[in-house]
């Protein structure tokens, strides 16, 4: 794992605007909240600042949230208080920059991901919840944009622990405890009684997220021309938060070999019936059982 993947994911979000988002809140809160903050449903409201949620989402999508100081965070000052600080002169791509528009105050205002250090010494960043230019709010602009910031605007440079990033073995079903993932109340299982997340070749009760399923129209939806399951994406994200790697596609809401392999290993580790299917018991265990 390197900064390259993190930056590629962040760059792919440039152009997103909460003002054009047809759903309530932001996509970054909608995707992370059920897996990372299941008790904090207020994060789903429209108008919630999302700069640090965006940073969380990017590292979570990359499968390396555990290397980020503060791990899952929706508060820039919480993030800043969890260490990993390096001097501005040592800033490098993939670092998280904490911005402060008024250094005379004790609280920072904004956060972004450093894409490159320019020859001028300024920092080119990818940021969530900003504006596209100098006009408009810099820390609550509602967009994901590439911005250039001066070193004088940076209060902290935070270095992810790249050495602790999941290795290739993680995608093959090995687990790694993540301290921020243990013992939460599981969100309600999204499927009807008797249904489970499983392969497309299974019976009608097997929801793969890969094809339209009229029996669960609120769970399997079309996104950018591809079917995906909202509930399966939440489960995959929760497993990532526990330290499991689910292949390059991560929490894509589509059941495949990587997901099946991880589910089988998890079921075996936790003494559950090994089926490879995400039924209600397997779903609940992903939240309620401790990470070991």
| Percent of the chain whose pLDDT exceeds 70 | 92
97: nearest Cα among 108, 106, 73, 143: 108
Q: Are 216 and 195 in contact (CB under 8 A)?
A: yes
β-bridge partners, 278: 197
Q: Are 46 and 20 in contact (CB under 8 A)?
A: no
Tell me the average pLDDT across 109-134.
96
- If pLDDT is split at 50, 70 and 90, which confidence band does 82 have? very high
Q: Are 199 and 206 in contact (CB under 8 A)?
A: yes
Confidence (pLDDT) at 250: 75
User: For 160, which DSSP code?
Assistant: -
Domain boundaries, the chain: 3-158, 196-288
Distance CA 243, CA 55 (A): 18
Query: Mean pLDDT in the chain?
Result: 89
Q: Which residue has the tokens 């489970």?
A: 196
Q: Check whether 223 has a pLDDT greater than 90.
A: no
Supply the pTM of this predicted model.
Answer: 0.68
Tokens of 10: 């962040």
Domain 3-158 in CATH: superfamily?
Answer: endopeptidase domain like (from Nostoc punctiforme) (3.90.1720.10)
Q: Residue 36, class by beta-carbon neighbours within 10 Å (0-12 exposed, 13-18 middle, 19+ buried)? A: buried
Greater confidence, 290 or 184? 290
Q: Which CATH number fits domain 196-288: 3.90.1150.10, 1.10.3090.10, 1.10.101.10, 1.10.287.470?
A: 1.10.101.10
User: Lowest mean pLDDT: which of 105-109, 143-147, 181-185?
Assistant: 181-185
Confidence (pLDDT) at 172: 37
């Amino acid at each position: 794992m390197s900064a390259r993947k993190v930056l590629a994911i962040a760059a792919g979000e440039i152009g997103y605007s909460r003002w054009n988002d047809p759903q309530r809140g932001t996509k970054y809160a909608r995707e992370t909240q059920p897996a990372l903050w299941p008790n904090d449903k207020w994060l789903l409201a429209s108008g919630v600042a999302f700069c640090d949620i965006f940073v969380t989402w990017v590292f979570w999508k990359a499968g390396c949230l555990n290397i980020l100081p503060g791990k899952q965070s929706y508060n820039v000052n919480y993030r800043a208080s969890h260490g990993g600080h390096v001097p501005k002169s040592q800033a490098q791509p993939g670092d998280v920059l904490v911005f402060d528009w008024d250094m005379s105050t004790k609280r920072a205002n904004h956060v972004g991901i450093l894409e490159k250090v320019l020859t001028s010494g300024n920092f080119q960043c990818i940021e969530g919840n900003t504006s596209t230019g100098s006009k408009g709010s810099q820390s609550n602009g509602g967009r994901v944009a590439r911005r250039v910031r001066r070193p004088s605007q940076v209060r902290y440079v935070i270095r992810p622990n790249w050495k602790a990033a999941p290795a290739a073995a993680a995608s093959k079903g090995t687990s790694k405890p993540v301290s921020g993932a243990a013992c939460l109340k599981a969100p309600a299982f999204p499927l009807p009684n008797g249904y489970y997340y499983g392969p497309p070749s299974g019976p009608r009760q097997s929801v793969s997220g890969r094809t339209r399923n009229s029996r669960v129209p609120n769970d399997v939806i079309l996104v950018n021309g591809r079917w995906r399951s909202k509930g399966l994406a939440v489960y995959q994200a929760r497993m990532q938060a526990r330290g499991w790697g689910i292949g390059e596609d991560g929490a894509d809401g589509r059941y495949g070999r990587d997901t099946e392999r991880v589910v089988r290993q998890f079921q075996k580790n936790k003494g559950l019936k090994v089926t490879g299917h995400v039924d209600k018991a397997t779903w609940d265990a992903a939240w309620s059982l401790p990470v070991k």
